[in-house]
Chains A and B, each alone.
Chain A
Amino acid sequence: MRTNEEMFNELDRFIEQECNCDEQELIAILHRAQEIFGYLPMVVQAHVARKLGINVSKVYGVVSFYSFFSMEPKGEYVISICMGTACFVRGSDKILERVEQILGIKNGQTTADGKFTITTLRCVGACGLAPVLQINDKTYGNITPEDVESIIAQY
């Protein structure tokens, strides 16, 4: 586990060296911050705002607008089920139901041990593989509710 200081240092390096402290890079910076911290609590938002010389309310406006950004801590593995049109017509709602059933939590929630979080998203651009499920960066395509258990068991 990294210390807070290390995480903030990494974020600062990214903001200064790769983004030049440019306000225009806000979304890229928030993406990186969420990667580093796992979520975007107000302390992190305020830190980003001060670094860029903008008010924290502006940062908060962006964070609250995009569903990708989360202000709640997420589990170690985020299971995202695509609810885009192609995946949905090929039964991704059934996949979601099965994931919820196996983990015993609802969409948007995190398991008590902090291991899994379930989210849904709209279209990952892999409609040919519909229905699609992602666990962190790994994508599983053409899956059926029966496949879910063995996929989760890998983690």
Chain B
Amino acid sequence: MLVNVKINNMEFQEDSSLTILQVAKKHGIRIPNLCYMMKEEVDLEHKPASCRVCVVEVKGRRNLVPACSTNVANGMEIYTHSERVRRERRTIVELLLSDHPHDCLTCGKCGNCELQDLSVELGIKKLYITGPMSQENVDVDEGSLRRNASKCILCGKCIAICDHVQSVGAISATNRGFGTKISLPHDCVNCGQCVQVCPTGALQQIDDTRTLEKILADPTKYAIVNTAPAVRVSLGEEFGMAPGTNVTGKMITALRMMGFKKVFDTNFAADLTIMEETTEFVSRLKSGKNLPLITSCCPGWISFVETQFPELLNLPSTCKSPQEMFGAIAKTYFAQKAGIDPKDMVVASLMPCIAKKQELKREEGMFDGMHGTDFAMSAKCVAKLMRRCGIDDLANLPDGQFDDPLGASTGAADIFGNSGGVMEAVVRTASLWMTGQVPKAVEYHGVFGAHNTREAYVSLGDDVKLHLCVVSGLANARKVLEDVKAGRVHYDAIEIMACPEGCINGGGQPINKLYEQKDVIAMRKEGLRNIDRNKAIRVSCENPQIKTLYADFLGEPNSEVAHKLLHTHYSNKQQTFEEETND
């Protein structure tokens, strides 16, 4: 129903199903808030109305009302920034700050913290409310996450995203009253989506840039880096560029300036993944066993299946992820070629992801007693390190080129960063092998009633008709897996990415406050598609450096050497609690 409302003396006609916050936003009035979250891209609205920062004055009502959870009504006269509102809002934030450590200067979130911004906005100059602190100011590291309960304002965004978008439910509110805090994660998959929504420094990723700085300065170490597809269209945002801007060349130059001896491309390893995975897929199709094949590039998803669906561990491809394949090839093939002892090599990767930090530690991924990758840096962390190394104007750096022999890639690798990309890359190579032709783009259609879940039928020749599924976001993946388990659907292959829309929306990506997240995702997605369209070669098996790698070193896909270096296995990782752990 349309109603007439007045906000700050301006008259609007709006639907009564909208809240004051929504109407104000629509008309360019920003009402500050800390606990409200609208994520259109995952269809999630979180409004616990717990922070009270969005309170506004409604004429005729004695108390201020929270704008996030009060609908507009006919004849309402609202003042969002009256003197009274500003005064009350300031008190609310002062109360939050009275139970918050004042160590902004050394907090990892400094400069990016919504609470800090709000304090500045409201002109809080002096903190006069004092009292006991509800939590001790200590950092607790768990997996890729650093948690500090004393910095938490209990907005519940992390719980909402973990429960509803990822269906992992790793964290929850524990205890009560003044002592309430967010629990240590149980069965966390380290996707990092909680870190992306935390308004303060309570949940951060572990920042190991200082260790990397030392390694880069150590003359006895040979440090090389490889860069994931999704980072080249997001890193620019940390330096003021629009989402989706392709900064590949500038990123290469910056990494060289920082001291990496070689800058290689994770895309090369993505093409390699496609060679191995397509071969595996074709052989599973022939045998009819262990279908559907599920992609294994995403470490968040792998943790999820190992902790939540241990009965389905025969389905993920045995292929390591591109990061892990890269490490294995770098420390064997490249080390031999360059005459370097792999023990002196430090392999770093630049990732959109923080689960990659855990993936590289997997014992299942070891070969010759070594781990392939030593360091996984997120886009966010690497931008910090670049600044520390004097790189501030990324846009004006000259374009560099990836080094040989692990630097060439095809368009099929670039799209790994988008949900659906790995599947499309597999189809391109499988089709070329089986029919001699590359199909036009795979045409997906959404699954009715399911979010971020798409299906496609693809014909390879006359007798092979594939039913494929692409799903991102773990709650969506859970639904598909339940259906597969119950035999309600039959797919030949499924691509699963833990983060909604894939790596372009990964847990280590820059947080962009200038755009809505759904637009950021769309722009990054288009950025990767453009790179793919403009590549001369767009099918993984035609990558010349990959051909050389097989001819000189690996033999053929799924060969014995390939199995040793490029494949892995999975195991049930449900937490057992034999050792009592108390929070």
Query: CB of B185 within 8 A of chain A?
Result: yes
Q: Which residue of B lies closest to A71 (CB)?
A: B582
Q: Which residue of A lies closest to B308 (CB)?
A: A55
Q: Known contacts A46-B575, A56-B186, A56-B575; decide if A61 and B580 are in contact (CB<8 Å).
A: no
Q: Are A65's CB and B174's CB within 8 A?
A: yes
From B164-172, B264-272, B452-460, the one touching the partner chain is B164-172
Chain A residues with CB below 8 A from B580, complex form: 41-43
Chain B residues with CB below 8 A from A56, complex form: 186-187, 575
Query: CB of A112 within 8 A of chain B?
Result: no
Q: Are A61's CB and B174's CB within 8 A?
A: yes
Q: Are A55's CB and B187's CB within 8 A?
A: yes
Which of A56, A57, A61 has the largest count of B CB atoms less than 10 A from its CB?
A57
Chain B residues with CB below 8 A from A64, complex form: 174-176, 183, 583
Chain A residues with CB below 8 A from B220, complex form: none
Chain B residues with CB below 8 A from A41, complex form: 577, 580
Query: CB of A54 within 8 A of chain B?
Result: yes
Q: Known contacts A54-B169, A57-B186, A60-B183; decide if A42 and B174 are in contact (CB<8 Å).
A: no
Q: Which residue of A lies closest to B188 (CB)?
A: A57
Which of B174, B574, B581 has the largest count of A CB atoms less than 10 A from its CB?
B174
**A128 vs chain B, min Cβ distance (A):** 30
Q: Are A61's CB and B582's CB within 8 A?
A: no
Distance, CA A71 to CA B581, complexed state (A): 11
Query: CB of A13 within 8 A of chain B?
Result: no
Contact pick for A60, options B176, B186, B576, B578, CB 8 Å:
B186
Which residues 27-46 of A have a CB within 8 angstroms of B?
41-43, 45-46
Query: CB of B140 within 8 A of chain A?
Result: no
Distance, CA A61 to CA B185, complexed state (A): 11
Chain B residues with CB below 8 A from A58, complex form: 169, 172
Which of B168, B185, B574, B577 has the largest count of A CB atoms less than 10 A from its CB?
B577
Query: CB of B38 within 8 A of chain A?
Result: no
Which residues 455-488 of B have a CB within 8 angstroms of A?
none
Which residues 55-106 of A have a CB within 8 angstroms of B?
55-58, 60-61, 64-65, 71
Q: Which residue of A lies closest to B168 (CB)?
A: A55
Number of A interface residues in the complex (CB < 8 A): 16
Distance, CA A60 to CA B576, complexed state (A): 15
Q: Are B169's CB and A42's CB within 8 A?
A: no
Distance, CA A42 to CA B578, complexed state (A): 9
Query: CB of B173 within 8 A of chain A?
Result: yes
* Binary flags per residue of B181-200, CB closer than 8 Å to A gives 1, else 0: 00101110000000000000
Q: Are A60's CB and B575's CB within 8 A?
A: no
**B499 vs chain A, min Cβ distance (A):** 19
Chain B residues with CB below 8 A from A45, complex form: 577
Distance, CA A65 to CA B187, complexed state (A): 21
**A8 vs chain B, min Cβ distance (A):** 13
Chain B residues with CB below 8 A from A71, complex form: 582
Q: Are B169's CB and A57's CB within 8 A?
A: yes
**A65 vs chain B, min Cβ distance (A):** 5
Distance, CA A55 to CA B581, complexed state (A): 16
Chain B residues with CB below 8 A from A50, complex form: 574
Distance, CA A71 to CA B582, complexed state (A): 9
Distance, CA A64 to CA B172, complexed state (A): 11
Chain A residues with CB below 8 A from B183, complex form: 57, 60-61, 64
Q: Which residue of A lies closest to B179 (CB)?
A: A64
Which residues 551-583 of B have a CB within 8 angstroms of A?
574-578, 580-583
Distance, CA A65 to CA B172, complexed state (A): 11
Q: Are B174's CB and A55's CB within 8 A?
A: no
Q: Known contacts A42-B581, A65-B176, A71-B582; decide if A57 and B171 are in contact (CB<8 Å).
A: yes
Q: Which residue of A lies closest to B578 (CB)?
A: A43
Q: Which residue of B lies closest to A54 (CB)?
A: B169
Q: Are A60's CB and B169's CB within 8 A?
A: no
Q: Are B577's CB and A57's CB within 8 A?
A: no
Q: Are A57's CB and B578's CB within 8 A?
A: no
Q: Are A61's CB and B173's CB within 8 A?
A: yes
Chain A residues with CB below 8 A from B576, complex form: 43, 46
Q: Which residue of B lies closest to A47 (CB)?
A: B577
Q: Are A55's CB and B170's CB within 8 A?
A: yes
* Binary flags per residue of B90-101, CB closer than 8 Å to A gives 1, else 0: 000000000000
Chain A residues with CB below 8 A from B172, complex form: 55, 57-58, 60-61
Distance, CA A57 to CA B169, complexed state (A): 7
Distance, CA A60 to CA B577, complexed state (A): 13
Distance, CA A54 to CA B176, complexed state (A): 21
Chain B residues with CB below 8 A from A43, complex form: 576-578, 580
Q: Which residue of B lies closest to A44 (CB)?
A: B577
Q: Are A57's CB and B582's CB within 8 A?
A: no
Q: Are A55's CB and B169's CB within 8 A?
A: yes
* Binary flags per residue of B143-184, CB closer than 8 Å to A gives 1, else 0: 000000000000000000000000011111111100000010
Distance, CA A55 to CA B167, complexed state (A): 9
Chain A residues with CB below 8 A from B175, complex form: 64-65
Chain A residues with CB below 8 A from B575, complex form: 46, 56
Chain A residues with CB below 8 A from B170, complex form: 55, 57
Chain B residues with CB below 8 A from A57, complex form: 169-172, 183, 185-187
Q: Which residue of B lies closest to A50 (CB)?
A: B574
**A108 vs chain B, min Cβ distance (A):** 15
Q: Are A46's CB and B577's CB within 8 A?
A: yes
Distance, CA A50 to CA B580, complexed state (A): 17
Distance, CA A46 to CA B576, complexed state (A): 8
Chain B residues with CB below 8 A from A60, complex form: 172, 174, 183, 186, 583
Q: Which residue of B lies closest to A53 (CB)?
A: B308
**A105 vs chain B, min Cβ distance (A):** 21
Q: Which residue of B lies closest to A42 (CB)?
A: B577
Chain B residues with CB below 8 A from A55, complex form: 168-170, 172, 186-187
Q: Can you list 5 A-B pairs, Cβ within 8 angstroms, ordered by A?
A: A41-B577, A42-B577, A55-B169, A57-B186, A64-B583
For the complex with contacts A45-B577, A46-B576, A57-B171, 10 further pairs of A-B residues with Cβ separation under 8 Å are A41-B577, A42-B577, A42-B580, A43-B576, A43-B580, A55-B168, A57-B187, A61-B172, A64-B583, A71-B582
The 6 closest A-B pairs by CB, nearest first: A55-B169, A61-B172, A64-B174, A42-B577, A57-B172, A56-B186
Q: Write the residues of chain B forming the contact surface with A, with a CB cutoff of 8 angstroms.
A: 168-176, 183, 185-187, 574-578, 580-583
Q: Write the residues of chain A forming the contact surface with B, with a CB cutoff of 8 angstroms.
A: 41-43, 45-46, 50, 54-58, 60-61, 64-65, 71
